[in-house]
C-alpha cells in the first residue's frame, strides 16, 4: 500500500471509504477513453498523469493537496485548475493552466471551455464539497461533462471516489448536509413531516376566508333592502 496522499499533503481526517486506494501510485488496466457513466460504474482508478482541480471550496484545502500530489507522483504530474478566485493555490506548477469562470459567462464560451478541457485528456478530476456556496453549479456541470474519474474532498480533508461502490458514503454525505444526523435530525424530520399538514391547513384557511368574503352581502345590497 502506497503512502496516503492526504497525510502527505498535511490534511487531517480519515477517508470516507476504502483507504486511499486511488491515491496510490499504480497502473490501471483498460482504455483511458472511458466516459462519465462508465467511470461511475467502475472502481478502476486511472493513472495519476493529468489532474484537473475544481476549486469549489476553501483554497486552504488545495494549498496542502497540490504539493502532496506532486511529492508522490513527481514534478511531471500535470495539475490544472478551474477557479472563481483570484491568484492561485500554493504549489500549483508555474506552467499550470488556470481557467477562471468569469471568463466564460455565456453558453458559447462554456462550450468552448469544455472542448478544451476534454482535449487536455484529464485522467482525474477533484471537486470540493465543503458546505460552502462556491461554484456549486460549475463543479457538478464539469463532473457531468468531463470523462475523468472524480474524487470528492470535504472541509476536513476527507475524500471518496465518486463511483457506485461508494453509494453508502454518498448517501451519508447527503443526509449529513441535509441536517438529518445528530441532535438536529429529530427537529428536521419533524419539520419535514409536519410541512404538508401545515401547508394544507394554510391553504384551507385561505380558501375559507376567500369564500366567506365572496358570500358576505355587500353594503349596497343591504341598504337597498
Domain assignment of residue 206, given as a range:
184-224
The CATH number covering residue 150 comes to 3.40.50
168 and 196 inside one domain: no
The answer to which of 87-91, 138-142, 148-152, 184-188 has the lowest mean pLDDT is 184-188
pLDDT tens-digit profile of 34-73?
Answer: 466 677 777 788 888 899 999 999 999 999 899 988 888 8
123 and 56 inside one domain: yes
6 vs 143, more confident: 143
61 and 148 inside one domain: yes
- What sign does the CA torsion over 57, 60, 61, 66 have? positive
pLDDT of residue 41: 74
Number of domains in the chain: 2
- pTM of this prediction? 0.65
Order across the sheet with 124-128: list the strands.
Answer: 98-100, 78-83, 50-54, 124-128, 149-153, 159-161
111 and 198 inside one domain: no
Q: Exposure string (b/e) for 3-15, b if CB count within 10 Å is 16 or more?
A: ebbbebbebeeeb
pLDDT of residue 30: 42
| Nearest 10 degrees: Cα torsion 92, 95, 97, 102 | 80
127 and 151 inside one domain: yes
Mean pLDDT of the chain: 77
pLDDT tens-digit profile of 108-143?
Answer: 999 999 999 999 999 999 999 888 899 999 999 999
C-alpha pair distances (Å), 213 with each of 207, 210, 218: 10, 5, 9
173 and 156 inside one domain: yes
Q: Alpha-carbon distance 82 to 28, whole Å?
A: 26
56 and 161 inside one domain: yes
91 and 29 inside one domain: yes
Q: How confident is the model at residue 223 (pLDDT cuts 50, 70, 90)?
A: low
- Tell me which of 177, 194, 216 is where a domain ends: 177
Q: Alpha-carbon distance 75 to 96, whole Å?
A: 12
111 and 162 inside one domain: yes
Amino acid at each position: 500500500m502506497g503512502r496516503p496522499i492526504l497525510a502527505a499533503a498535511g490534511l487531517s481526517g480519515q477517508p470516507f471509504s476504502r483507504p486511499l486506494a486511488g491515491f496510490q501510485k499504480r497502473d490501471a488496466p483498460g482504455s483511458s477513453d472511458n466516459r462519465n457513466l462508465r467511470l461511475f460504474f467502475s472502481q478502476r482508478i486511472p493513472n495519476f498523469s493529468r489532474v484537473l482541480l475544481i476549486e469549489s471550496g476553501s483554497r486552504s484545502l488545495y494549498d496542502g493537496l497540490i504539493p502532496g500530489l506532486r511529492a508522490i507522483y513527481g514534478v511531471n504530474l500535470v495539475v490544472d485548475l478551474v477557479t472563481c478566485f483570484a491568484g492561485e493555490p500554493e504549489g500549483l506548477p508555474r506552467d499550470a493552466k488556470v481557467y477562471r469562470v468569469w471568463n466564460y459567462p455565456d453558453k458559447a464560451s462554456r462550450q468552448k471551455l469544455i472542448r478544451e478541457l476534454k482535449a487536455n485528456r484529464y485522467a482525474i478530476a477533484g471537486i470540493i464539497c465543503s458546505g460552502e456556496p462556491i461554484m456549486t453549479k460549475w463543479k457538478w456541470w464539469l463532473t457531468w461533462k468531463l470523462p475523468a474519474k472524480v474524487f470528492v474532498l470535504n472541509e476536513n480533508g476527507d475524500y471518496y471516489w465518486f463511483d457506485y461502490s461508494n453509494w453508502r458514503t454518498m448517501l451519508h454525505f447527503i443526509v449529513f448536509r441535509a441536517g438529518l444526523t445528530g441532535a438536529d435530525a429529530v427537529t428536521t424530520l419533524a419539520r419535514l413531516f409536519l410541512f404538508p399538514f401545515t401547508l394544507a391547513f394554510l391553504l384551507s384557511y385561505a380558501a375559507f376566508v376567500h369564500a366567506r368574503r365572496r358570500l358576505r352581502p355587500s353594503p349596497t345590497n343591504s341598504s337597498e333592502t
